[in-house]
Amino acid sequence: MAGFERGATKELSCDGVSLLRIAREVGTPAYVYSRALIEENFRRFDDAFASVPHLVCYAMKANGSLAIVKALAALGAGVDVVSGGELRAAMECGIPAERIVFSGVGKTDKEILLGAELQILAFNAESERELAKIDEIAGSLGRTARVALRVNPDIDSGSHPYIATGLKHNKFGIDLGTARRLFAQADRFAHVRFTGIQAHIGSQIFEPAPLAQTARELAALARELAAAGTPLETLDLGGGVGVGETEEKSLSPEAYAAAVLPEVSGTSLRLLIEPGRSIVARAGALLTRVLYLKESLGRHFVVTDAAMNDLLRPALYSASHPIEPVVPRGEPFTADIVGPVCESGDFFVRDGVIDRPDEGDLLAIRNVGAYGFAMSSNYNFRPRTVEVLVENGAFRVTRRRESYEDMVRLERE
């Protein structure tokens, strides 16, 4: 198994590369990724869907590191992008336009223009107005844009409310009735070719049932449209496959495929899936050093050099990420692990039973390869961290740590 492991010495390492050494050479905090595990995760999705025509479109919002997107491009991945920036980055990483789908409720004219010029695989359109915009912009280029309608099936994904997207009160997608009407009025949009339907009902989904139900509803709509003379080419199931604290507590690509494939059988459409987190989450760890141990009225605090600006998920979604000493000391105690930012929301764990560290010890915050660095910021004028990719038994810096000069470069006094 690729990824983070403890060898005979009990020291946590990444694909045989010492995390102590990485931290010594690049400093902390530092995001470290296992290329082998990212590739393995991608291949598991690709293999799980091998029985049908398909394309795995990695949702690059989860981790847009160019080195990672390039590695996936080399394996034949497509991508799901949500901005002009991601679209440009994907192209720069060698993802061909015919493997790119473009999602999002608020695409700007400029973004639509770029996608139409590049002739991407599909715009996943989320409203009637957006559809009209795509039609107009593609028309101005003398092109026809390929469009999938993102439908909102009103299905409960069981996710945290901030990342549930498939309920009717969410801003995402088009209700089924409106979608049917728009497909029936395809002639109104002369520069649009309806090629598919898409849904993404949420993120961190651990139960296969809502994902299977979504697939069933999309397939039913596709069959209905084919019977009505609007055959589609693609059926896009979105992403959302849940990643738990351990591999066993996660929804596996194989279990996901086993749940959705029977629902779409017989449609002969090309299946698109947009996993983000499940490709990269477990392949990333955030290394941080203990700055201080502090005790106050019987409570223990471990103050680290990483903070909520480096990893926002615990503060924003109450997400729990296992935190482990790189070299264990074997003496558990109960403590809060917190960062230096001036907010009480700046914690990684509260009342956690952890191995009692010493000042200067190295900790690894696990499963943060997705939406970790991607959501980091310069809050408190803190530079964004270095990113390191472990590959072939060695490591390289794929994004250097920001300097003070980087942070002020765009300012004008």
Q: 26 or 197: whose CB is closer to ligand LLP?
A: 197
Q: 13 or 204: whose CB is closer to ligand LLP?
A: 204
Site string for ligand LLP, 90-109 (x = CB under 6 A): -------------x------
Stretch that binds ligand LLP, among 206-214, 353-361, 369-377, 403-411 (CB under 6 A): 369-377
- Shortest Å, Cβ 82 to ligand LLP: 7
- Shortest Å, Cβ 370 to ligand LLP: 6
186-215 residues in contact with ligand LLP (CB under 6 A) are: 200, 203
Stretch that binds ligand LLP, among 245-253, 323-331, 370-378, 391-399 (CB under 6 A): 370-378
112-171 residues in contact with ligand LLP (CB under 6 A) are: 163
CA dist., res. 122 & res. 194, Å (int):
9
Q: Tokens 């560290």, residue?
A: 357
Whose CA is closest to 208, among 161, 259, 173, 248? 259
Backbone angles phi, psi at 321, to 5 degrees: -120, 125
Q: Which region holds residue 351: left if phi is over 0, alpha if psi is between -120 and 50, else beta?
A: left
Query: Active site residue: 14, 57, 93, 342, which one?
Result: 342
- State both tokens at 302: 């471990």
Q: Does 282 bind ligand LLP (CB under 6 A)?
A: no
Q: Which residues of 82-107 are buried (b: 16+ CB within 10 A; e: fewer)?
A: bbbebbebbbebebeeebbbbbbbeb
Q: 69 or 326: whose CB is closer to ligand LLP?
A: 69
- Shortest Å, Cβ 214 to ligand LLP: 12
295-324 residues in contact with ligand LLP (CB under 6 A) are: 313, 317
Q: Does 274 bind ligand LLP (CB under 6 A)?
A: yes
Stretch that binds ligand LLP, among 247-255, 272-280, 294-302, 321-329 (CB under 6 A): 272-280
Q: Does 173 bind ligand LLP (CB under 6 A)?
A: no
Site string for ligand LLP, 54-93 (x = CB under 6 A): -----x--x-----------------x-------------
CA dist., res. 354 & res. 300, Å (int):
11
Q: 233 or 274: whose CB is closer to ligand LLP?
A: 274
Q: 357 or 369: whose CB is closer to ligand LLP?
A: 369
Amino acid identity for residue 6 in this structure: R
Q: Provide DSSP, 320-376.
A: ---EEESS----EEEEEEE-SSSSTT-EEEEEEEEE---TT-EEEEES-SSSSGGG-
Maximum separation of any 2 CA atoms in the chain, in Å = 72
Based on its alpha-carbon atoms, the radius of gyration of the chain, rounded to whole angstroms, reads 23
CA dist., res. 6 & res. 324, Å (int):
11
Stretch that binds ligand LLP, among 238-246, 289-297, 346-354, 361-369 (CB under 6 A): 238-246
Catalytic residue status for 14:
no
Whose CA is closest to 176, among 213, 135, 204? 213
- Yes or no: say if 305 and 345 are a contact pair by the CB < 8 Å rule: no
Element (H, E) at 100: strand 100-102
Q: Does 325 bind ligand LLP (CB under 6 A)?
A: no
First and final CA of the chain: distance in angstroms? Answer: 52
CA dist., res. 82 & res. 72, Å (int):
18
Count of positions on this chain that bind ligand LLP (CB under 6 A) = 21
Q: How many helices (H) and strands (E) does the chain have?
A: 12, 20
Cα-to-chain-centroid distance, residue 22: 25
Q: Does 41 bind ligand LLP (CB under 6 A)?
A: no
Of the residues 4, 31, 42, 371, which one makes contact with ligand LLP according to CB under 6 A: 371
Q: 12 or 89: whose CB is closer to ligand LLP?
A: 89
Q: 58 or 395: whose CB is closer to ligand LLP?
A: 58
**Chain residues in the site for ligand LLP (CB under 6 A):** 59, 62, 80, 103, 163, 200, 203, 238-241, 274-278, 313, 317, 370-371, 375
Residues assigned a catalytic role: 342
